Amino acid sequence: MLCKRIVTLYRRRSFSINHALTLKVLSRYLHTKPESESYPLSVTTIDGELESYPASAERPVPSLLPDFQHSAPVSQRPENPIPSDESIYRDLKSMAELVFIDPHTQDNLNQLSKSNSPWLSESATFLQKLAPYFYLPPDKFLEKANAYFQYRLLETSSINHLAFAISDVFLFYLKKNNNRNIHNDVHKIIPFMSFFLHLNMPEYVFHLYVHMPKGMPYKFDSTMLNNPFRKSFARAFSLIENPLVVLRSLNMTDHNKHRVRILYLHYLHFLLDHGEHQKVVALSHEIFNKFSWIASGPTRLLMNSYHQQSQFNAAVQVYREASARNEAVDSNPVVLRELLKVITAADYYNRDSFQCFLQTLLKMGYIPSLQVFSRLLTAVAKYHMPEVLFPLMNHYRTQFNNMLTPSVFVAAVKAAVYCGDINTIKLYYQEAQASGEIKNLKHLFNLFLTSTTVSLDASMAVSLLRAFRNDTSLINESTLVSCVTLFSRRKDLDAMEKVYKYITDLGVSTPPEGYAALLDAYIEAADEKKIQSCLQKIEELGITKNTSVNRMLMRYALFKYDYERLQNCIAFAEKHDKSGRDYMYTIMMLYHTTVGEFKQALNVFPTIQKPNVIHFSIVATVLGNLKQLDEIKLLEERMSSLNIQSTPLSLAAFVVSYCKQGAEGLAEAERYIDSVFQTKQRRATIFNAKTANDLRYPVSLFSPLIREYTSLGDMTKAKNVLALYLDYHSKNITSQPDIPFAVTGMQLYCSLHDTLLARKFWDLILKVVRQTFMSTKVELYVSGKDEYEEEEEEGKILDAYKGSLNMPAEIYFSFLASVNAFLELDTEWSRLKKWGVEFDEAMYNKRVVWILYSGRIDKALSEFCEYFLSKEKLDEHLEGVGNNSRIANFMLSYNSPVYTSTWDVLREKLAMANEKGYIRSRNEELMSVSKYIHQWKQKNQLMYTILSRL
């Protein structure tokens, strides 16, 4: 259900840094200055690691790696010819793919295997033994490679030569897979790196990374700190006595320079994490000046280092110098957020620094994010600049469609208070009051609609209709769009269409956004006929190029898995819908997730310049499905570090993902929930219970934990989590129970054989169904009748939800059958049937079995005929029904909708009845089994044929 309402695609974008950046370096920065006068990007020396290896030395090579592996440029090669063995080796390494069956290749490997060089002979021997297994998937191939490595380890004492040899094998294997267009997932490559870490040869982690073939998934070359190999890098750095020696060596040889820079970036982050601030500063100097690599990653890390050292002016100076040398850094939202953190630090006050940020914002022409804006307003208050408050707020309202989030509202009012602007204070308070007037009510609903994570219940929708009925003059095109969206979220097409007709009958025309909302509603309800009708109307009106319509066409493409249509919509959006980028990225992530392309979905995320809470929620869900616990924790940390405000959607996504990771994941889920409910201040800031129940902490925070503990048999912990929810709910800081929560509670007490409490949770499920799954009676409110007029009868369940109760019903009905409560089971089954619930084949199979176990063979066979032998069901499984013999054969086959277990129970009950000598019919008549079966010959010839063969 994640993000089902939002949706959109995007084009992949590389984050590779241009290696040939031409930067003008001022000569005064090249000289050593006293510490008080030095510039942040020009630090030249410190004691310790960074001086231990002179940059001007000859090309160093780590002791574990032989010199001949790196091909020198032609101009640097000696006059004497390279020994033939080394020449053959270099030719092999230069091949795009090792074609093992090629006779020439085999001859070369044979010659190398006899080489006097142990490096070459081991490499050739390993390739000869392992190349035939290159067709295996990574995990299987690694098993083969490890087994042979261990075998060779018993025969030789030189582990260095073996490690070098198997490194070559791994690289050729990756080349082979890459050339066969077999995408190498991160989790499949990391074990190759872990192999060297276990050998305590971490240099080979970097050797393997920089030599991996080009064309691998582009996330491997991401210059962001969420590189998929970051943990392997960090472990390798911690195992190497002087990592910089290795990095400089890699940089001075003919390697992939871009990947070497990535290693430098991660080493910079490693040093920062370990509090090595002096080394961070010195290494940043080397990156900026000797590499001439000015990018957002190292800039932000250096600023953060100075920030942690309370050297705030130095942090601001880093930003100024870096942005002067690379304009991309100037407007990078991550760097800007770091700059704002410095400017708003408690121990720092520099009005000029804030002016510098404002000038950058003016040049950008847009606000990077809500988080940046909230902190920006805090800075306005801190530096007492009321003259910029109104321009900023106007800019904000234009960009974010007048949406005042709680954090922005608090920051704006706080800024106005500190600036002494009483008129602005009054204006914001008046705007914030929900007095019940139509304008305020509409503003409230529009705010909910913008959030995209809040689904409104029927009572709120009806309240809006009541307000409309009292003052229809305020109903306009915007109101029409809002109402269509409200009811489409409930998938209540009947109510939506009645309200839509009511508003259009008042003379309100339907704008393009209205047709987009209608299309969205029909897609939500999966009503193909109405979808096509709406698409035809959109084509006739010629509004396919409207941005709102185009977004819904993207969603339709997702709904139909139509990649071509999706690409066309994206091409239009990229040119004409700049404000819809977040929606576009969301659609793309959801498309890849829906079709099972999880790697591609994750690859979208790093390319999003300003990921929002929905993007984080999708990634958390995908990582949960992929069992990536460490990655989920890092994602949580990143979301927190970016100050992205949590929503019910994101909170639930993280908890559900943690709960899928076993015992360790459950502990993380508990820790996460504890952190969510840390302080009253945080609850007040993030969620406002006065606006809507759905904005309180979601019940879905607790459901996964209860479910997992129940499945593990730890009923005590399951009941503790349930008690925790009830405690928070009593304090009015959690949302109302939903069906998943009620199902988990029911499951818990069914497992405990507590009939009373299991029944209470079943009643809770039925209550939620009545509130949210039933059609809305809107006629009373749009017709002007008394709003308290009694409804004649209970409504029917909405079409979109008719199959949604199969799972909870199966749990409860199975429990009732286990305690022989067959009468109650019949009652509840009839109730759901009356509501219009559509049971699936599995439920009907179980229904027949339950009745059989209750001893009512005749009733079981009657319901069997009613469902499984109906004309609709037979037409579904058999084209052109045919004769009874053919149907009977089919029904008793493995392809039958009737399960083998159902037939087994029926045979068993008939055998038992035969032993007793009679069967009791529905009218309480006793008769022999043979007579009873013969009776079916008159009632249902097909059933008689099946029973005879059974």
Beta carbons of 322 and 41 less than 8 angstroms apart? yes
Indicate if the pLDDT at residue 704 is higher than 80.
yes
Reported as a pLDDT band with limits 50, 70 and 90, residue 631 is very high
Out of 343-347, 616-620, 809-813, 857-861, pick the least confident. 343-347
* Residue 106, Cβ density class (10 Å: 0-12 exposed, 13-18 middle, ≥19 buried): middle
Indicate if the pLDDT at residue 13 is higher than 60.
no
Percent above pLDDT 70 for the chain: 74
Q: What is the pLDDT of residue 455?
A: 39
529-544: buried (b, 16+ CB within 10 Å) or exposed (e) per residue? Answer: ebbeebbeebeeeebe
Indicate if the pLDDT at residue 822 is higher than 80.
yes
- Give domain status of residue 98, yes or no: yes
Mean pLDDT to the nearest integer, 348-370: 79
Out of 208-212, 324-328, 388-392, 519-523, pick the least confident. 388-392
Tokens of 501: 């007709």
Reported as a pLDDT band with limits 50, 70 and 90, residue 453 is very low
Tokens of 434: 């929900």
Reported as a pLDDT band with limits 50, 70 and 90, residue 782 is low
- Give domain status of residue 139, yes or no: yes
Q: What is the pLDDT of residue 905?
A: 93
Indicate if the pLDDT at residue 812 is higher than 90.
yes
- Give domain status of residue 115, yes or no: yes
Residue 774 forms beta bridges with which residues? Answer: 797
- Please give the Cα distance from 920 to 271 (Å, whole number): 82
Alpha-carbon Rg for the chain, nearest whole angstrom, is: 34
Indicate if the pLDDT at residue 48 is higher than 90.
no
Mean pLDDT to the nearest integer, 777-798: 61
380 phi, psi to nearest 5 deg: -60, -45
- Please give the Cα distance from 338 to 686 (Å, whole number): 22
* pLDDT tens digits for range 112-160: 777 777 887 788 888 888 888 888 888 888 888 888 888 888 887 678 8
- Give domain status of residue 773, yes or no: no
| Nearest-5° Cα angle at 19, 16 to 22 | 125
Beta carbons of 695 and 454 less than 8 angstroms apart? yes
- Please give the Cα distance from 21 to 326 (Å, whole number): 9
Q: What is the pLDDT of residue 479?
A: 75
CA dihedral of 86, 88, 93, 99, whole degrees rounded to 10:
-160
DSSP assignment of 535-553 = HHHHHHHT-TTSHHHHHHH
Residue 493: which of 532, 529, 521, 453 has the closest Cα? 521
Largest pairwise CA distance in the chain: 110
Indicate if the pLDDT at residue 811 is higher than 90.
yes
Higher pLDDT, 857 or 460: 857
Q: What is the pLDDT of residue 474?
A: 62
The DSSP element (H or E) to which 919 belongs, if any, is strand 919-920
Tokens of 792: 């004649």
- Give domain status of residue 116, yes or no: yes
* pLDDT tens digits for range 291-301: 778 888 889 89
Out of 434-438, 599-603, 832-836, pick the least confident. 434-438
- Ramachandran region, residue 747 (left: φ > 0; alpha: ψ -120 to 50; beta: rest): alpha
Mean pLDDT to the nearest integer, 453-459: 41
Q: What is the pLDDT of residue 686?
A: 40
* Residue 664, Cβ density class (10 Å: 0-12 exposed, 13-18 middle, ≥19 buried): exposed
- Neighbouring CB atoms inside 10 A of 720's CB total 14
DSSP SS3 for 802: coil
329-355: buried (b, 16+ CB within 10 Å) or exposed (e) per residue? Answer: bbbbbbbbbbbbbbbbeeebeeeebbe
- Please give the Cα distance from 216 to 189 (Å, whole number): 11
860 phi, psi to nearest 5 deg: -60, -45
> At what angle are helices 351-364 and 333-343 packed, to 10 degrees?
160
Residue 718: which of 678, 747, 758 has the closest Cα? 747
Q: What is the pLDDT of residue 876?
A: 82
- How far is CA 543 from each of CA 552, 583, 683, 754, rounded to the nearest angstrom? 12, 19, 43, 58
Mean pLDDT to the nearest integer, 31-40: 35
- Please give the Cα distance from 283 to 863 (Å, whole number): 77
- Give domain status of residue 894, yes or no: yes
Tokens of 169: 């094998």
Q: Tally the domains of the chain.
A: 2
The DSSP element (H or E) to which 558 belongs, if any, is helix 547-560
Tokens of 773: 């799954």
Domain span including residue 858? 840-949
DSSP SS3 for 288: helix
DSSP SS3 for 777: coil
User: What is the number of alpha carbons within 13 Å of residue 764 lying toward its C-beta?
Assistant: 18
* pLDDT tens digits for range 717-748: 999 999 988 888 776 567 778 889 999 999 99
Q: What is the pLDDT of residue 218?
A: 58
Reported as a pLDDT band with limits 50, 70 and 90, residue 80 is very low
Q: What is the pLDDT of residue 216?
A: 65
- The one-character DSSP state at 920 is E
Q: What is the pLDDT of residue 797?
A: 86
- Give domain status of residue 681, yes or no: no
- Please give the Cα distance from 37 to 195 (Å, whole number): 47
Residue 926 forms beta bridges with which residues? Answer: 920
Q: Which of 137, 152, 182 is the last residue of a domain?
A: 182
- Neighbouring CB atoms inside 10 A of 574's CB total 14
Out of 69-78, 618-627, 791-800, pick the least confident. 69-78
Q: What is the pLDDT of residue 466?
A: 64
- Please give the Cα distance from 652 to 633 (Å, whole number): 14
Mean pLDDT to the nearest integer, 852-858: 90
Out of 182-186, 526-530, 681-685, 712-716, pick the least confident. 681-685
- Please give the Cα distance from 233 to 940 (Å, whole number): 72
- Give domain status of residue 852, yes or no: yes
- Residue where the block lists tokens 């009593």: 730
Three-state helix/strand/coil letters over 124-189: HHHHHHHHHHCCCCHHHHHHHHHHHHHHHHHHCCCHHHHHHHHHHHHHHHHHHHHHCCCCCCHHHH
Q: Which of 182, 203, 232 is the last residue of a domain?
A: 182
Residue 539: which of 549, 527, 554 has the closest Cα? 549
Q: What is the pLDDT of residue 114?
A: 73
- The one-character DSSP state at 290 is I
Q: What is the pLDDT of residue 747?
A: 93
> Within the chain, how many helices (H) and strands (E) appear?
49, 2
* pLDDT tens digits for range 284-329: 888 888 777 888 888 989 999 998 888 988 999 998 888 888 888 8
* pLDDT tens digits for range 395-438: 777 777 766 665 666 566 666 655 555 456 556 545 654 434 44
Q: What is the pLDDT of residue 914?
A: 83
Higher pLDDT, 453 or 219: 219
- How far is CA 588 from each of CA 9, 248, 546, 649, rounded to the nearest angstrom? 3, 39, 20, 18
> At what angle are helices 806-818 and 755-772 packed, to 10 degrees?
160
Q: What is the pLDDT of residue 736?
A: 76
- Please give the Cα distance from 666 to 655 (Å, whole number): 9
Mean pLDDT of the chain: 76
Q: Which of 182, 214, 240 is the last residue of a domain?
A: 182
User: What is the number of alpha carbons within 13 Å of residue 247 lying toward its C-beta?
Assistant: 25
DSSP SS3 for 797: strand
Range from 482-496, 770-784, 890-904 that averages highest in pLDDT:
890-904
Percent above pLDDT 90 for the chain: 18
User: What proportions of the chain, in percent to the nearest 5, are helix, strand and coil?
Assistant: 70, 0, 30
* pTM of structure: 0.52
